[in-house]
Amino acid sequence: MMTTTNQKMEGKRGEENHSKNSTLSSSKVEKMQDILDEDSTGGWDKCWEQGLTPWDLGQPTPVLLQLLDKETLPKGRVLVPGCGAGHDVIAIANPERYVVGLELSENAIKRAREVSSLSPNAKYFEFIETDFFTWRPPVLFDLIFDYTFFCAIEPRIRASWGTRIHELLKPDGELITLMFPTDDRDGGPPYKVSVADYEKVLHPRGFKATSIIDNELAVGRRRVCDIF
């Protein structure tokens, strides 16, 4: 099962501030891309080391908090690939959900452990520094939450992402993705995504979308939620 949340363009709110923030964000994205062009694997760790993390909200994803409030998330084991500083991992974790946050970056894992050090639910989550594409957990997951992970990987290996999602998720499990970015762009990361991009790699593996909704709680230009 899969859910996708579309990240549409948000209306103008304070054009001057928006312009300044967009310029700063664009600058960070360009520097991030330069680093990753030089080192596609170790570059992510360098980005965290240098604070070039424009994807990091510094808080849990708003629509995720809404899903938690509505008590619509599956219970059981949860996987958050590319978890970054771990805000979503911490938010999801509770006695009914054990959450695993995966990260390739050592510096991101260090940051996640710092952020989560005082969490009262610390025994309900863990952070693992590993490669999503080669990691082999002993137990499958009831839910996988993907926000800024799919868009960060090169389009040529998206089929491998679909294979790993299928391998890691229980047969009756649920995949929730937040689609971003959906605007016209060349190159990346982040690479442009669409519902069709997800369907292309998930439908051959038996996934069907059960919900595709606009995410009214999206931050900035980020805005669509899919559930498979």
Residue 9 lies in a domain: no
Residue 49 lies in a domain: no
* CA 200 vs CA 15, 29, 193: distances in Å: 37, 27, 11
CATH number for the domain spanning 79: value is: 3.40.50.150
Domain with 184 in it:
58-205
How far apart (Å, rounded) are the C-alpha atoms in residues 33 and 35?
Answer: 5
What's the number of domains the chain is made of? 1
Render pLDDT for 74-85 as a digit per residue (tens, 0 to 9). 999 999 999 999
Render pLDDT for 131-190 as a digit per residue (tens, 0 to 9). 999 999 999 999 999 988 999 999 999 999 999 999 999 999 999 998 876 777 677 888
Residue 222 lies in a domain: no
pTM across the whole model:
0.84
Mutual angle of helices 158-168 and 195-202, in 10-degree steps:
60
